[in-house]
Amino acid sequence: MKVNSYKDLIVWQKAMDLAAEVHVLSKSFPKEEVYGLASQLRRAAVSVPSNIAEGQARQSTAEFLNFLSIARGSLAEVDTQVILAQRFRYITAETTAKAFSLIVEISKMLSSLRAKLATNH
């Protein structure tokens, strides 16, 4: 599987969409959460496309697979933190629908990419 740039990966593009969506969602959090959950959520969301990009830019498939695993972990972190934000009543189920849809889609794409890379490895 030859990709010229991480920017060509649809999973990276979707992860960028998720990071932007999380940024918008977290703007509605209470002021006391600016350095708490909002900051942690934003960092985790930014970590997903960042790790996809870094892994793709590495020299080996093994390294790429490792960074995809890290991206998947960050995605689980985002999922958990969005659920917490709902439970804390900072955001509603309606406002999180797009984020959750992207999380599911990205998770499936990461699994598929990992499987494809592992098979060709």
Closest alpha carbon to 92 in 5, 47, 29, 15: 29
pLDDT of amino acid 1? 54
Compute the distance between CA of residue 93 and CA of residue 99 in angstroms, rounded to an integer: 10
Which residue range is the domain that position 54 belongs to? Answer: 6-120
Residue 20 within a domain: yes
Residue 57 within a domain: yes
Tell me: pLDDT of 99 over 60: yes
Residue 111 within a domain: yes
Residue 1 within a domain: no
Number of compact structural domains in the chain? 1
pTM of the entire predicted model = 0.94
> What would the pLDDT profile of 18-60 be if each residue is shown by its tens digit?
999 999 999 999 999 989 999 999 999 999 999 999 999 998 9
Contact 105, 14 (CB under 8 A): yes
